[in-house]
Amino acid sequence: MDKLVVKKSLGLNGEIRISGAKNAVLPIVCAGILTAETLNLTNVPHLKDIDTLGELLRLMGIDVSLNNGNMLITANKVTSLMAPYELVKQMRASILVLGPLLGRFGEAIVSLPGGCAIGARPVDVHLKGLEQMGAHIEIENGYIKAKVDRLKGARIIMDVVTVTGTENLLMAAVLADGVTVLENCAREPEVVDLANCLVKMGAQIEGIGSDTLTITGVDKLHGATHAIIADRIEAGTYAVAAVMTQGDLTLTNVRPDVMGAVIEKLRLAGANVIVGDTTLQVIMHKRALAVDITTQPYPGFPTDMQAQFMALNCIADGTSVMSENIFENRYMHVPELCRMGADISVDGNIAVVKGCDSLTGANVMATDLRASASLVLAGLVASSSTTVDRVYHLDRGYESMEDKLGKVGANIKRITY
Ligand code: UD1
């Protein structure tokens, strides 16, 4: 097991190159199941979640290799159509194999993901949509067993806006017989990146980037080369680090055009944010102002940035009200931040954060990916040393965080024990 020891590191300064987006790679790798030809992906980050998905695809007989950010996926001899519980429980996004397996092979057996630290996270919308496309679905011994001769196009109105739900149904529809209209789709940039990759593979999709996707099924997809979109959450996390430490960071290889809601909040906190085509410079020379946050589906403020902005609000000037509207239990970082001296009270999905002058270091424990990031951020400004345990959560979604932060002046060290 690893832990991170973080010491006070004010004035972070320099350049950080942002990696490809975890939440785009995961569905796009699954899109590789849809063709017997090779899908060639570039800008792929080296993350635990990507390794887990690679392992899952290899279990199915699919060739997967990852070298220097270049991933090759060849599904020309698929030998198993099953995603076992042992892997799905490590990573819920494994559910993304369901749509492609069913679309190409007419069968899939995928473990139900179960609940997770941040909420119940059901997959009912995924299943209902596939049933509307003609799939016969049974739940047996904790597994989703889905079968169909060939999926048929249908009009599907999703009850809730779901990112992986939209992605699963989109991947199912591209090889279906006829036209599928998906309504109330998630519009996250990662959904758009998947759709763009599918189009390169020969899919016919209209309405990309909107809440209605119209997909005309084709008989076959082919191989393609695709560069993964930059990770807007990783970029947002380091932008918050610049604000909290009163530093000057330039983030490179980013897509500022998909970071509008976060950039607005950085500016409201008092930062000078200079937006380039593929760069974002965040300059801060004073104490941050508290900012209210309401999480919403894209283009609203992302739930995946809520914990990081809470860390910022803990040391900001003023009181902020934060409202988490996507997941019902996404304040697991609150008790840990409070152990570092933060003043936060939670009532249901609302958190009120009173900014304090400083935090103190403590031994804290990460409970999920973004919660871990918020604890590292808090550690950067705490008066004494902070130890963040259970760093494996962080490794699921941040590529070498301690190296990237270390290079811009952070005092952060990984300890393996
Ligand atoms: C994805 C992201 C995750 C992000 C989240 C919200 C990936 C791999 N993960 O997760 O980082 O925090 O979007 O932006 O891309 N819901 C249902 N029924 C369903 C599906 C979802 O009720 O069938 C609910 C969920 O419980 C949640 C809400 O819809 O309350 C949104 O969840 P969803 O967008 O599906 O999150 P994920 O796709 O799992």
Please give the distance, rounded to the nearest whole angstrom, from the Cα atom of residue 385 to the centre of ligand 1.
35
Contact 210, 187 (CB under 8 A): yes
Q: Is 155 exposed, middle or buried (0-12, 13-18, 19+ CB in 10 A)?
A: exposed
Q: Structure tokens of 197?
A: 């990759």
pLDDT confidence tier of residue 86, bands split at 50, 70 and 90: very high
Tell me how far the alpha carbon of residue 68 lies from the centroid of ligand 1, in angstroms: 30
Q: Is the pLDDT of residue 119 over 70?
A: no
- The ligand 1 atom at the shortest distance from the C-alpha of residue 302 is 14
- State the distance from the centre of ligand 1 to the C-alpha of 78, rounded, in angstroms: 28
Residue 120 has pLDDT above 80, yes or no: no
Pairing type for strands 204-206 and 212-216 reads antiparallel
For residues 256-281, average pLDDT: 98
The ligand 1 atom at the shortest distance from the C-alpha of residue 186 is: 34
The helix (H) or strand (E) run that includes residue 29 is: helix 22-31
Residues 77 and 53 sit within 8 Å (Cβ to Cβ): no
CA proximity to 96, closest of 207, 202, 172:
172
Q: Phi-psi bin for 331: left (phi > 0), alpha (psi -120 to 50), beta?
A: alpha
Q: Is the CB of 165 under 6 A from ligand 1?
A: yes
- The answer on pLDDT for 135 being more than 90 is yes
The pLDDT of residue 366 is 81
Whether residue 314 lies in the annotated active site? no
Sort strands 136-140 and 143-147 into parallel, antiparallel or unpaired: antiparallel
Q: pLDDT at position 367, please?
A: 84
Q: Is 124 in the pocket of ligand 1 (CB under 6 A)?
A: yes
State if pTM tops 0.75: yes
**Is the pLDDT assigned to residue 256 strictly greater than 80?**
yes
- DSSP category for residue 397: T
Query: What is the rounded distance in angstroms from the CA atom of residue 135 to the CA atom of residue 150?
Result: 8
Q: Please tell me the predicted confidence (pLDDT) of residue 417.
A: 86
- As to burial, measured by CB atoms within 10 angstroms (0-12 exposed, 13-18 middle, 19+ buried), residue 73 is buried
| Residues 204-220 pLDDT 10s | 999 999 999 999 999 99
Long-range contacts of 259-266 (CB under 8 A, 24+ apart): 259/232, 259/235, 260/299, 261/299, 261/300, 261/301, 261/302, 262/232, 262/236, 262/301, 262/302, 262/305, 265/291, 265/293, 265/301, 265/309, 266/239, 266/240
